[in-house]
Amino acid sequence: MKTYKERTQSILQKAEVQRKQKHKRITLITVLSSVAAVILALNLVLFVPYTVGGTDLTKYSSSEYYGVIQQLYGLTHEITEPRRTNNFNEWFGFIFKAGAAAPADKNLAGSSRPPTAPGAETDSSTAIGNNYQETTLNQTDGVTEADLFKRSDTHIFYLGYTSTFSSTSYDLRVYSIDGEDSKLITTYTVKPDKDTSFSGYAADREMYLSKDLSTITIISPCYNYQAGGRYTTVINVDVSNLSNIKESNRTYISGRYVSSRIADDNLLVISDFTVSRNANFDDVTAYVPQVGKKDSMKPLSAKDIVCPQNADKARYTVICSLDSDLEVKDSVALLSFSDDVYVSQNNLFATRTYDNAVQTADGIEYTDGTHSMTEIRIVPYDNGTLGDTRSITVDGTVLNRYSLDEYNGVLRAVTTINYSVGRNRSKCMLYCYDLDTLEVTAKVTDFAPVGESVKSARFYGDVAYVCTAETRVVITDPVFAFDLSDLNNITYTDTGTIPGYSLSLNKFADNTLLGIGYGNDIRTLKIELYEQTDSDVKSVATYEEWDVSFSSEFKAHLIDAKNGIIGLGISSLTQDGTRYAIFRYDGYDLTEIASAKTESHIVNYMRATVIDGYAYIFEDGGFHVLKLA
């Protein structure tokens, strides 16, 4: 986290930027007034409008979203006529062959967004315990992630749901923590607003418990029938008095719910807003994300929309900062980006993958050869304020948020380069970027066998673990351990080729590395523990189970490194039965020590935690307590 001195310096810098911008605006007005007559004359000759694909876009020229409309038109409308916009482009377009879209490192309006006031503090309460206890294995220290369950020292909250033919509602269930005597205390039902529904997208619901134990914040995808589109709703529920639970606030954000974090005591919500084909640009709600209360939502301003030059998807990654009362403090929308965002203690990182033509050293371009590139857009945040964005571009594709990590001012990224020159191939890379200069400080190229791709990654301080695999014939992989303590001399060791690959990698008991994933095929569960030495990474314990499906949702895995315990939902493909299985590593062997037969077959909704020798297991169909030997 930033020190007090760093935060003070950040505020002073923002104030200085605003002062300079005000001075520039005054100067700009003076200059513009001097050349207005010339521009008017040129406009009569040069800017006689042409149609673009049969649509005259110049009727939107007075809109603050004109630049956005121009880019979205090409992505959402069928264009059958030559692309021409006016006489200026016809006469002088050859000068601008490189393109004249908004620069990749600036917002369309080119201005900074002023900070807003922090949210109000909530009163503390001891009605459901004295202390907050984190249950989720978060990616970043100091950054809390949402989950299906949260707990205090005396109670556990689980967010289930009830679905009928006509609608879906959420059941906020409160359980006591009392070993085998634990029980359901109360249930509070959360229903969708009028003209909206949770149905169809309820699988992505999540929640938070405030540190003062007074508020549950539920985040859910929903569909708005009146507006005709997907939205994300954020709902505050007052749980300070368990005998009188009640809803207190509800806010909406355009787009499908993707993810969220709590950082700097502010809620960051990420959604994915897709612009439909042949969007009506007369209706700003059709192509610009909105935020706010259901009946008074406001579109983001153009200065908060970032459009890359080579955008190829008509979808936004929408990032909103909310205070404790769910008032929107700040927001930004990134056009054409993916729906997976990594959040550090200082920045959000969104990715956008695209294909780039492969060229030889002499610049000859192969028409059948392309390789993947990823733009990583950096969005700084400070006390809920989202700063101006910057970007870097890396070779290859970033698998997910666990393939990115910010550490001591350096962004580390693991990528897979998919390329084709005659035939499809791939190779794996590791990059280190200085976040001040945005320059590469170190990289490791082609560390995996050609044809393999990154399947999982995890960073722990100066160490990075990466699992790569070849999956087209027989599933095989190595696991790599990188020493990043000296970026001028990065070294790594690996397991060599072994069966299967891991979907996730985590530090575990006795200085081991835990991998959960597939064995020889995707019908085989493999849980494997690795040990790193000076010369290699070796497997020390393995559990395999055939003809099963299992939870691939990382949050559905119980990983208790302190006690050497692993848990996850497993469903048999050949027998009628689903169970939540608990495994223990005793330093030698990895064995199943307990299990609970579950009512639900949906393993991704299952959650579990270990408290004082008991495993508490939650599912949509019930609640289980197992005493562990």
Domain regions of the chain by residue span:
4-96
User: In angstroms, what CA-CA distances link 154 with 132, 173, 610?
Assistant: 9, 14, 13
80/545 Cα distance (integer angstroms): 55
- pLDDT for position 539: 94
Residue 115, token pair as written in the block: 């900070």
Cα–Cα dist 460/507, whole Å: 8
Q: Which helix (H) or strand (E) holds 499?
A: strand 498-499
- The count of residues in the chain is 629
Q: Which two tokens stand for residue 507?
A: 């530090």
Nearest alpha-carbon partner for 541 in 586, 580, 494: 586
d(Cα 176, Cα 178) in Å, to the nearest integer? 6
Q: How far are the Cα atoms of 86, 89, 100 from residue 51, in angstroms, in the given order?
A: 8, 12, 18
The reported pLDDT for the residue numbered 163 is 82
Give which of 301, 434, 450, 431 is closest to 374, Cα–Cα: 431
Count CB-CB contacts under 10 A for residue 328: 21
The mean of the pLDDT values for the chain is 83
Beta strands in 57-98 (DSSP E): none
pLDDT of residue 357: 67
Answer positive or negative: Cα dihedral of 542, 548, 550, 552: positive
pLDDT of residue 365: 53
Residue reference for tokens 């021409």: 84
Q: Which residues pair with 397 in a beta bridge?
A: 416
Paired strand residues for 514: 506, 529
Q: Supply the DSSP symbol for 89.
A: H
Give the closest residue to 223 by CA, choosing from 242, 189, 195: 195
**Residue 355: per-residue pLDDT:** 82
Token pair listed for 77? 């409308």
- Phi, psi torsion values for 82, nearest 5 degrees: -55, 145
Q: Of 562, 570, 572, give the one whose Cα is nearest residue 612.
A: 562
- Tell me how far apart the alpha carbons of residues 608 and 611 are, in angstroms, rounded to a whole number: 10
71 HSE (CA, 13 A, CB side): 28
pLDDT at 54: 53
Are residues 200 and 212 in contact, defined by beta-carbon separation less than 8 angstroms? no
Q: State the pLDDT at residue 231.
A: 95
- Residue that the structure tokens 């930004």 belong to: 332
pLDDT at 29: 40
Cα–Cα distance measured from residue 110 to residue 133, given in angstroms and rounded to the nearest whole number: 43
CA distance 606 to 614: 16
How many angstroms separate the first and last alpha carbons of the chain? 40
- β-pair type (590-597, 578-585): antiparallel
Task: Please identify every stretch of the chain with a pLDDT value under 50, giving residue numbers as ranges.
Answer: 1, 3-5, 7-8, 11-12, 15-52, 79-126, 360-364, 366-367
- CA 248 to chain CA centroid, Å, is 27
- How do 558-560 and 215-224 pair as beta strands? unpaired
Task: Give the predicted TM-score (pTM) of the model.
Answer: 0.83
Q: How far is CA 230 from CA 196, 202, 208, 223, 277, in A?
A: 10, 12, 22, 5, 15
Give CA–CA dist 546/204, Å, rounded: 28
Q: Which residues make beta-bridge pairs with 595?
A: 581
DSSP H or E stretch at residue 260: strand 256-263
Per-residue model confidence (pLDDT) at position 565 = 98
From residue 330, how far is each of 109, 116, 265 by CA, in Å?
16, 7, 14
Per-residue pLDDT at 7: 42
